[in-house]
């Protein structure tokens, strides 16, 4: 498909399950695309509840504390 976006779109997210702007259909102007949410393991259930049709890459448990201001 010549109108398809060739690279997947990865969106790292945490704590935005209710208000995240994850529906990219209009931003992509209808072009076929692969959108992957990158989430922490402890948030998987809540993201699946709010975004059941999205593809999610769940980080291993060791990364639950990772982020700005956190040390691994």
Domain boundaries, the chain: 9-63
- Owner of token pair 């990364």: 63
Closest residue by Cα to residue 44 from 55, 34, 33, 32? 55
Q: Are 59 and 36 in contact (CB under 8 A)?
A: no
**pLDDT tens digits, 27-40:** 888 888 899 999 99
Segment 38-48 mean pLDDT: 94
Residue 19 — pLDDT band, cuts 50, 70, 90? Answer: confident
Residue entry with tokens 């890459």: 57
Q: Residue 69 above 80 pLDDT? A: no
Q: Give 70 or 32, the one with higher predicted confidence.
A: 32
Rounded average pLDDT over 47-60? 93
pLDDT band of residue 46 (cuts 50, 70, 90) is very high
């Amino acid at each position: 498909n010549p109108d398809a976006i060739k690279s997947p779109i990865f969106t790292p997210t945490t704590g935005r399950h209710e208000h995240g702007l994850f529906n990219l259909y209009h931003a992509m102007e209808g072009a076929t695309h692969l959108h992957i949410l990158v989430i922490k393991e402890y948030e998987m259930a809540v993201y699946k509840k709010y975004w059941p049709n999205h593809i999610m890459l769940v980080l291993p448990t060791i990364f639950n504390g990772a982020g700005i201001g956190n040390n691994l």
